[in-house]
Homo-oligomer: A and B are copies of this chain.
Amino acid sequence: MKLSKKSEYALRALLELTFAHGKTTLQRHEIAARQHIPVEFLEQILLALKRAGLLSSRRGMRGGYGLIKSPEDITLGQVIRTLDGPLAPIGCVSKTAYQKCRDCPYADKPQCPVQHVMGAVRDAIAGILDHYTLADFAAGSRPR
């Protein structure tokens, strides 16, 4: 049930980019310095977020990174999924990356007790993270 360092850094980096949104872009080293993140590691995180369509970037002297959408349109669920994979605790209850559970005697019947509980857990986690936007996050408030 753990959040990777990668996702944590991503959230903290996006926090800075949310503050800067509309005003300016930020460079790797600025984000790294403000959030105490190893710059080379941060780099590959920003690249992943870019490939996921959340960030734009510009190379060269006046380069840097910026949000490509407005903070209200990016959820923490999206961010964590792109870096850590599915939110579900177990493959057979994932909605974005379902995987049939091998070796379980209940196979995939809806009677499977594991599926039942973990489905509830998944829904609880996704219920929070998929409604929590970067705007909420930066404001430090609850969503909606």
Contacts and interface: CB of A to CB of B under 8 A. Distances in A.
Given A2-B1, A84-B1, A124 B128 contact: yes
Contacts of A86: 1
Contacts of A104: 12, 36
A24 interface: no
A127 interface: yes
A137 interface: yes
Given A84-B1, A90-B8, A117 B76 contact: yes
How many monomers of this protein are in the complex? 2
Question: What is the interface of chain A mostly: helix, strand, loop, or mixed?
Answer: helix
A142 interface: yes
A54 interface: no
14 contacts: A1-B80, A1-B86, A1-B87, A2-B89, A3-B118, A8-B90, A12-B105, A34-B105, A36-B104, A113-B138, A113-B140, A121-B125, A121-B128, A124-B127
